[in-house]
Amino acid sequence: MSEAPPVNHNHNHSTTYLETYVGVVAGDFVRRDAESGPGLRIEGTCPRCQGGTVSEYPYGLAGTGTKGIFSRRGAAPAPVSVPVSGEETALLREVHFCECGHPHPDLPADAPFVGCGASWRVAALSGGAGGG
């Protein structure tokens, strides 16, 4: 009956770093407003190491004149040629990377994110401000 603190006991710190695409994940991912400025952040659990991961995406969607969301890592995994009807649609097409913050074994010095190296897409997002 007591409220458990939000400690993640499932985070597997011994998972070896490996850049791997996990696939589409149907877990709970929450969309929120970014804290560092205009944009969005996606909170969820890494499907590989089970660590909590947060990714921030600045606004800059199709039609605004910037590459924004799709240029986050320098090279997009795949070209996105479909019309983007909204930021959420874009986020569902974006590949997310583990940013659990734990330096997993074999983490390269030039790793783009501190995590286990996993990448995935999300099947759905919950939360977020405003309806749409």
| Interacting residue ranges for Zn ion, rule: CB under 5 A | 46, 48-49, 51, 98, 100, 102, 115-116, 118
Question: Least distance to Zn ion from the beta carbon of 50, Å?
Answer: 7
d(CA 76, CA 70): 6
What's the chain's length in residues?
132
d(CA 59, CA 37): 9
d(CA 58, CA 17): 26
Closer residue to Zn ion in complex, CB, 62/119: 119
Question: Least distance to Zn ion from the beta carbon of 14, Å?
Answer: 10
Question: Least distance to Zn ion from the beta carbon of 34, Å?
Answer: 21
Closer residue to Zn ion in complex, CB, 31/48: 48
Structure token pair of residue 51: 């660590």
Q: Report the 10 Å Cβ neighbour count for 21.
A: 12
Question: Least distance to Zn ion from the beta carbon of 116, Å?
Answer: 3
Closer residue to Zn ion in complex, CB, 48/72: 48
Q: With contact defined as beta carbons under 8 Å apart, do 77 and 21 qualify?
A: yes
Closer residue to Zn ion in complex, CB, 54/92: 54
